[in-house]
Amino acid sequence: MVAGYLLVDIPPANAAATAQSNVYLYSDGSQLARDGEVNRVNVPLSQIPRTVQEAVLAAEDRDFYSERAVDPKAMLRAAWNTATGKGTQSGSTITQQYVKNYYLGQEQTIKRKVKESFIAIKLGREKSKAYILEGYLNTSYFGRNAYGIQAASQAYYGKDVGRLTTAEGAYLATLLNSPSAFDVVSHPQSRPRALARWNYVLDGMVKQGWLPDAERATTQFPEPGKVRAAAGLSGQRGYLVEAVKDYITENRILDDKTLAEGGYAITTTIDRRRQNAFVEAVDNQMTAKLDPQKRTADRVVRAGGVSIDPATGKVVALYGGIDYTKQYVNNATRHDYQVASTFKPFVFAAAVENDSRTQDGRRITPYTLYNGDNKRPVVGGRIRFAPENEGQVSYGNITVNTATDLSVNAVYAQMAVDVGTLKVKETAVALGIPENTPNFDPGPAMALGTMQASVLDMTQAYATLADHGRRTPYTFLEKIAKEDDTIALPERTPTQAVSREAADTTTSMLVSVVDNGTGTAALAAGHPAAGKTGTGELDRSAWFAAYTPGLVTVVAMMGQDPDTGALQSLYGALGESRIGGGGYPARIWAAYTKTALEGTDPVDFDLELQPGAAQPPPPPSFESESPQETAPGERTPTSPGRPTRPTPPNPTNGQDQGGQDNGGRNQGGQNNGGQDNGGQTQGGQTQGGQNNGGTTQGDQAGTSAGNQAGTSQGTGQGAAQGADAGTTGGLRPPSAFLE
């Protein structure tokens, strides 16, 4: 100890005290962005309000004025907690943190820690506590490229440090623990953790006698101001840099403070040509058509998108918003919009993965028949749930494939219960949806996409489907280097998340969505594609998630008030009464994909399907006029006509298809209780007849004719359906809900 004390001198200030910029590069090595000059203004301790100083001490080192420069007990306790899995802890005093910030660096090595201890001891003997606290407050990193308390005060509250309130000082002190993650503006999903830390700081001040109980009780959280991005981060550059930084810190490649020291050359996976193509597609297909002066609804329109190479997991393009200096929240990584019906493929993938069956024992395949009637109560679940279909349309019995084409909520809510909602969640997590995603609650409503995953998360999950069920964790990084040192990147070993059969059978249905369903706008890309549309509750979001065999892209439109940040409906935007996923998002997807794959030949999907999934049924037809769109690109029947039930392959005495042969079409169905007697003219083709009970005259004829025949002459499942479902009848007015 004596030798160490004598041999270690206090060194000059390190590079962190005059931190450099980081350089971000496209995958081809050309410069994407430089994260700007360091923002630092040193101030004397006398200009920092006493309560702000005390808030920092309450957050970081409450015994600062009474303790020694190094606390061996705290260091041993932190080492033990880290080693035993109780979380990484520093055990450092403020003196040690100041030494690390100003004289050494952020690297986590034993050599640095030992050297830090000796310098701290020597500094503690030679300098006053006021000197050390002043240095610490002027060298600490607070996020938003702000070094020191003065720069942080300006960055978050637009005022000099001398005007900070106790509440504001406590929030800045909170940021010291995790500068990027606790920025509630840039990362709204971290608000609960940030508020918990802020309360911890204030409670610590009360405990130390620095804040009266009465003042604590009335203290309100001080909302920080908007992010003011550096000019060099305008356009998409700021969104890309932010996403890359988050990836680096969340994967613990470098921590916030180390990365903020600068001097790193960061080569990203972003393909410059495809990135430009994404921006051009959004501009041409959406942004150029916005007219906020003429249409007030156009003010709320936002867009986000991500494109991934499914074979490598590399993010090749990202669209975060119109301009990082104007819209600072990254629409590609935010977690506050429902994903709507883009979740439905995960339900079917879970069904195939788990060899799931319906309530009456039929294996779930693309051609399994389900009742698609509007507000049909889900059977077999613990929660009563009767979901509405888009446009309040009732379809009668339809195949899963047709229900996917038309995005029928009633079918998928029932399927989620048939599979088991916990199994559905497990499959979604395996595909790539984070388990802690907001509103990711297992229940029948999850099939409608009530969870709030980011566009990036959804792209990861769809990339797993595209790569035949093999999940390769996404990455933004090709290489990180500083001078001659290359930083190790995390392993990204691919895993088989779901069976190839489950993934490929799901893909086969999503191909049908593009060819025949709500996603036909994607055909303009000129490449075989599989995809799914989605429209969130009250039209607050509209999604199109789709892929070719070699490229996966998800596009979302979102409504957000530009002044308050509140989520808003997209009703009336771009002159449309409704905004659906098959409209603008699908057109953006097609325009981008066409350019991104320019010069490559179209490639068909190579699929291995589950047994019984290879034989397609005849396409559905309608009794009356053609279906009309309730939202641009969302093909949804609005007439009383319902799709005729397609004939499934290999019927087996009515057992596999709900009695279509013995208990349905022949005895209680098409012939006796169906098209002839209780059927097409009086009330039977959909409900009491070919399917269950009655369209033309519905309640009256379906009950008197279809039900009578279905009950007296039908047998098994077909008779039960003929009797139970004949009273549904006509349609209700459209309403707003998840598609």
HEC assignment per residue over 583-646: CHHHHHHHHHHHHHCCCCCCCCCCCCCCCCCCCCCCCCCECCCCCEEEECCEEECCCCCCECCC
Q: Which residues contact 11 (CB under 8 A, 6 or more apart)?
A: 103, 104, 119
The rounded distance, in Å, linking the Cα atoms of 695 and 689 is: 9
Helix (H, G, I), strand (E, B) or coil at 333: coil
Tell me the Cα Rg of the chain: 30
Helix (H, G, I), strand (E, B) or coil at 430: helix
Q: Which residues contact 601 (CB under 8 A, 6 or more apart)?
A: none
Q: Is 60 a catalytic residue?
A: yes
Helix count and strand count (H, E) for the chain: 23, 18
Q: Indicate which residue of 341, 356, 394, 454 is catalytic.
A: 341
The rounded distance, in Å, linking the Cα atoms of 218 and 251 is: 38
- Within 10 angstroms of residue 66's Cβ, the number of other Cβ atoms is 7
CB of 450 within 8 A of CB of 338?
yes
The rounded distance, in Å, linking the Cα atoms of 581 and 560 is: 17
- Within 10 angstroms of residue 435's Cβ, the number of other Cβ atoms is 9
Q: Indicate which residue of 60, 134, 537, 576 is catalytic.
A: 60
Our measurement of the distance from residue 610's CA atom to the centroid of its chain's CA atoms, rounded to an integer in Å, reads 29
Q: Which residues contact 598 (CB under 8 A, 6 or more apart)?
A: none
Q: Is 116 a catalytic residue?
A: no
The rounded distance, in Å, linking the Cα atoms of 166 and 267 is: 41
The rounded distance, in Å, linking the Cα atoms of 119 and 272 is: 46
Q: Which residues contact 498 (CB under 8 A, 6 or more apart)?
A: 349, 352, 353, 427, 430, 431, 464, 469
The rounded distance, in Å, linking the Cα atoms of 348 and 504 is: 11
382-421 exposure pattern, b = at least 16 Cβ within 10 A, e = fewer: eeebebbbbbbbbbbbbbbbbbbbbbbbbbbbbbbbbbbb
Q: What are phi and psi of 112, to 5 degrees?
A: -65, -40
The rounded distance, in Å, linking the Cα atoms of 547 and 454 is: 17
Angle of helix 94-102 relative to helix 110-126, nearest 10 degrees, comes to 110
Helices of type H across 517-596? 584-596
The rounded distance, in Å, linking the Cα atoms of 327 and 319 is: 12
Active site residues: 60, 341
